[in-house]
Amino acid sequence: MPSKKNIEEVHVLKECIDNSNGLVFIDYRGITANDIAALRVEIGKSNGVMRITKNNLINIALKEDGREIDENMLIEPTAIIFANEDMPSVAKVISEAAKKNNKIIIKGGYMDSDLLSASYVEKVAKIPSKEVLLSMLVTVLEAPISSFVSTGQSIISDLPYILEAVKDKKPA
């Protein structure tokens, strides 16, 4: 029979899964407690949360959430990182940490409910942040409007000359 503590942990994991835009699983063996604490701070700056819990409890929470599971992601000690807002920024933090510390191994994850391999998590890390993508969208949308306004101003500024030319062409 499952303990009350494990049942509560599965409930917390399910809530975190439901409230996140993405998940990343990492192997953290050999990493010092200070490095884990620093990684948690960096993940927190990207609106993510890192939890270390038993693989079996993660497995149960994922199954209860109806997600496809890659059993290879839940072998060896596993930390689960929840991306609460912007999955690419959290993936970027983890990817950079893995480059700095070769003991951090990305196992895979989820973006929304889609299962991602470790290589896809790395690809997601290369996607610009939500703010950058929004600014790019604004720039793309702004260009035609600016062009239209510029053309309109040109016509208005040329109007007196056009009217004067028409007036000169008319016989008196």
Q: Are residues 123 and 134 in the same domain?
A: no
Q: Which stretches in the chain have pLDDT values below 50?
A: none
Report the predicted TM-score, pTM, of the whole model to 2 decimal places.
Answer: 0.76
Q: Are residues 161 and 115 in the same domain?
A: no
Provide the residue range defining the domain that includes 79.
4-127
Q: Are residues 142 and 116 in the same domain?
A: no
pLDDT at 93: 93
Cα-trace Rg, the chain: 27
Q: Are residues 137 and 115 in the same domain?
A: no
Q: Are residues 43 and 120 in the same domain?
A: yes
Q: Are residues 133 and 56 in the same domain?
A: no
pLDDT at 91: 93
pLDDT digits (tens, 9 = 90+) for 38-77: 999 999 999 999 999 999 999 999 999 888 888 888 888 9
For the packed helices 118-125 and 87-100, what is the interaxial angle rounded to 10 degrees?
110
Q: Are residues 76 and 100 in the same domain?
A: yes
Q: Which of 108, 105, 104, 110 is nearest to 83 (CA)?
A: 110
| CATH number of residue 102's parent domain | 3.30.70.1730
